[in-house]
Amino acid sequence: MSTDGDSPKKTSVSRAIYRILDARYKELGPVTYHQASVLVLFVLLVLLWCFRDPKFVPGWGSLITVGKTKFVELNGTCSSTSNPCGVDPVYAAEQHTELAVDDATAGMIVVFLLFVLPSRLNFWPFTSGPGNNGTNILSDTFLQ
């Protein structure tokens, strides 16, 4: 791996660093169900943020809308406070819909799932091993 410009001391230091990092990496062990589920929920959060209102297709946020009513004065030059025309103002109701979800909605969905989903896969009654003891990915005792 050495090039013409590398000294033998530099390559031996690089190999020593590589061995140390490789040993530390092996000490980590395999990815647990808890870690994988947090990763999946994080990816889900990013996808929910990206596809809430992507602008080129209707997003999942367009499934939940709220109807809004705005009142507009029809005789626009006359003001209801000063009433210079001597005519009572006439209003018309304009209906429009707005998205009822925001970025915080996606965050709250993922936080809810963190509190609900189990931290181990042995919650299923047909698996062997000790029970789950009711621990979730995120618990209220951890937050305190």
Question: pLDDT, tens digit, for every residue of 57-97?
Answer: 888 877 777 777 777 777 655 555 555 566 666 777 777 77
Q: What is the pTM of this model?
A: 0.60
Taking the domains of the chain in order of start, what are their residue ranges? 8-52+103-123+136-144, 59-78+87-101
At residue 130, the pLDDT reads 56
pLDDT higher than threshold 60 for residue 128: no
DSSP string across the chain: ---TT--HHHHHHHHHHHHHHHHHHHHH-SPPHHHHHHHHHHHHHHHHHHTSS-SSS--GGGGSEEEEEEEEESSTTS-TTT-TTSS---EEEEEEEEE---HHHHHHHHHHHHHHSBSSGGGSTTS-SS--TT-BSS-HHHH-
At residue 132, the pLDDT reads 47
